[in-house]
Structures are given as structure tokens and as C-alpha cells.
Amino acid sequence: MSYQVYINGEYFAKEDAKISVFDHGLLYGDGIFEGMRAYSGKVFRHKEHMDRLWNSARAIALEIPMTKEEMMKAVNDTLELNGLKDAYIRLVVTRGTGNLGLNPFNCSNPGVIIITDKIALYPQSLYENGMEIVTASTIRVPAAALSPRIKSLNYLNNIMAKLEAKCAGCEEALLLNSKGEIAECTGDNIFIIKDNVIYTPPVDAGILEGITRNSVIELARELGYDVQEITRTRYDLYISDECFLTGSAAELIPVVKVDGRPIGDGKVGPVTKTLIEHFRDMIVR
């Protein structure tokens, strides 16, 4: 079927969904987005995604042309129109149409786009057996240059690292920050486990504060695990017992090899298995 795409209050068939070539979201990556999941017709952590979207907008002085409540309704209406219960949602807000100059004040009418569709980011076999990742030579853009907490349309940094992953025969790449510390992967946050303690990089390591990341931290602590948000290096990753990634699209996926080196015994570990099981229970509550 051809899904209907929401663009500025109207719906268009997928093949007819278009924006202006003068939209600064296209010309300069001037805009923000959220990737969300719906399970059984309910958007997972909907309010948290809206809060982050509005924070991103405020950080780049972008006025979203509707309220949070109106945006949430538009997302739910788009899901319902397309008959989707379990889906991936891409919500985009662009600066809007302007001229060929950089000046954002020359743009009018910020654009709102809502796309809903099915998604299978990784093969099921990787969730069962774990995936391999590689460290990219591309480093994370320093927070002093552009805060990674802004979920912007500027994803070339991540794409360059993703290219390295694919060229190495991997699905994902690990990005380090300018200090050589672990930051995140191209589309996911990273967690490592050592002696039953779960570690994940803090926000100031240069990461996007993931909604799924925060949900997993909350879940792990509810299950009695010690979760520490502290900086780690590849040394800590190489000697870790387990590793996994989190993201709205990826959910929670194990990592069993990094840079050709097995993590632990090279199999999905017990803590990771426990978290996957409870995470799946949580998302359908």
C-alpha cells in the first residue's frame, strides 16, 4: 500500500509527498527531527519525544507552528489513517522555504512532516546472535561546535562513520569524541557491562540523549543493576563482558564483536538477554 504522509496539515500519497527545493531543511540541513516507535497503536514515550523535539527547536531558534498537544494528535492521526499499530514514525520540522542565503530569518512557515511506516533496521539474526561493530576514524562533532543534544537534520558526521562501517562489513560504527572517549554509534547509544555493572557515556561525552537509552537506564535500575553514566574508552570496551546498543529504531541489540575482537565469550551475555526480555515487556505495557 502507499502510505499517506502528513505535510503541513495535509496528507499526500508517498509518491506525491514533496517539499520545496528552497526549503532550508533540504538546502542546509536546517531543521530537527524525532524517530519514534508505536507499539499496539501507542507511541512509545510520546511525551519525552515531544519534549526533546521542542528543546531541539528552542536551541536553534526554530518556532514549531503548533502546540505539543496538536503535534501528538497529528502523529496519532497519521498512524490511524495508515492503519498502523506497530510502526516507525519520522517527525521532521524544517526551517521552511527561503532564499539561497543562510539567513534563517529569510525563511517563512516552518514545515512539519510526519512519515509512518514499517521498519526493520537490522536482521532478526543480529538480535539473536549479536552484531559486530567497528570504530570509525570519523570522530563525533565536538559539543563546543554543535551540541549533539540537538537532534538536527545535519547527519553527515554520522553518515561518514556509517560508510566506514559498511566498508568494513559491519552494520554499525562506534564514534569517539575528540578526547578519544567512547561517545555513541552512528544511530544508537552504547552500553558496556563489566562485572554486572552497566556503563554508558554521559551526555557531556558528546552524545544524543536517547529516549530509549534513558528508558533502558531506568529499566536496568528497576531490575537492581548498578548503572553508571561515566566516560569510558575503547580499553574498557575491549575488556568488557557484554555490550549492547539502544535506539528507537534498533530498540535494544547486542554487540558481540568490536574491531574484530570478541566481547566476553563472543556470545550474547546474560545481562543483555535479561534487559532485552524486560524491555520487550515494557514496550507493550
pLDDT at residue 164 in the model: 98
Report the CATH number that the domain containing residue 91 is assigned in CATH: 3.30.470.10
pLDDT tens for each residue of 217-239: 999 999 999 999 999 999 999 99
pLDDT at residue 39 in the model: 94
pLDDT at residue 98 in the model: 96
Q: Kindly name the residue from 68, 151, 166, 267 that is annotated as catalytic.
A: 151
Residues 128 and 111 occupy one common structural domain:
no
pTM of the model: 0.94
Mark which of 117, 150, 173 sits at the end of a domain: 117
Beta-bridge mates of residue 245 = 190, 253
Mark which of 93, 117, 141 sits at the end of a domain: 117
Mark which of 68, 94, 117 sits at the end of a domain: 117
Between CA 116 and CA 5 the distance in angstroms is 7
Q: Which domain holds residue 276?
A: 124-283
User: Which residues, given as ranges, of the chain have pLDDT below 50?
Assistant: none
pLDDT at residue 110 in the model: 97
pLDDT at residue 69 in the model: 98
Residues 86 and 157 occupy one common structural domain:
no
How many folded domains does the chain comprise?
A: 2
In 3D space, the residue among 162, 154, 175, 177 whose CA is nearest the CA of residue 33 turns out to be: 154
Q: Which amino acid is at 16?
A: D
Q: Examine the residue annotation and report whether 42 is marked as an active-site residue of this protein.
A: no
Full DSSP string of 113-182 = EEEEE----S-HHHHHH-EEEEE-SSPPPPTTTS-TTS-BS--HHHHHHHHHHHHTT-SEEEEE-TTS-E
DSSP H or E segment with residue 213: helix 211-222
Residues 143 and 210 occupy one common structural domain:
yes
Beta-bridge mates of residue 91 = 34, 114
Strand 31-39 versus strand 182-185 pairing type: unpaired
pLDDT at residue 263 in the model: 98
Residues 111 and 132 occupy one common structural domain:
no
Residues 266 and 196 occupy one common structural domain:
yes
pLDDT at residue 131 in the model: 97
